[in-house]
Amino acid sequence: MAKTTKSDTILKKEQIRTKTQKKAMLEALVNTLGVVTTACLKLGIARSTFYEWYDTDDIFKKSVDSVEDVGIDFAESHLFSQIKKDIPASTIFYLKTKGKKRGYIEKTEVDMNIGGEQIVGMIIKDSGDE
């Protein structure tokens, strides 16, 4: 049986501490709707440490990426609440982003003169194409 050295024990404790911190970070990200800076501040973990974990630990990265959906779901639920309260801007925003296939897109007419000849065209602004 291999002898456990002091450095092995320290390494094991550090691995356990890091695993515990990563778990706490994921919980903090859920509570802050994915806002990394706020989660780091709450836990006293440097943003650089967070991004080191994110870049080197695929399981942690996948977990963090799934938390982003929590924030989007939260925002969507509030958007639907505003639509139910008949807030026109919320309805317009929803239709411009989710109703494009039904023709709810922003259009801008452009009048131009080239060589004395008037040309009328239409530019369709689609934020998804940027």
Q: What is the pLDDT of residue 130?
A: 45
pLDDT digits 0-9 by tens, 33-70: 999 999 999 999 999 999 999 999 999 999 999 998 88
Given a contact cutoff of 8 angstroms between Cβ atoms, the answer to whether 61 and 54 are in contact is yes
Residue % of the chain over a pLDDT of 90: 58
User: Does the predicted model carry a pTM greater than 0.75?
Assistant: no
What span, in angstroms and rounded, lies between the C-alpha atoms of 81 and 71? 15
DSSP E strand boundaries for the chain = 106-114, 117-125
Q: Give 45 or 125, the one with higher predicted confidence.
A: 45
Report the chain's mean pLDDT, rounded to a whole number.
86
- Return the C-alpha torsion angle 48, 49, 55, 58, nearest 10: -160
Query: Among the listed ranges 26-30, 37-41, 97-101, which one has the minimum average pLDDT value?
Result: 97-101
Given a contact cutoff of 8 angstroms between Cβ atoms, the answer to whether 68 and 84 are in contact is no
Phi, psi dihedral angles at 124 (to 5 degrees): -100, 120
Given a contact cutoff of 8 angstroms between Cβ atoms, the answer to whether 45 and 28 are in contact is no
pLDDT digits 0-9 by tens, 82-95: 999 999 999 999 99
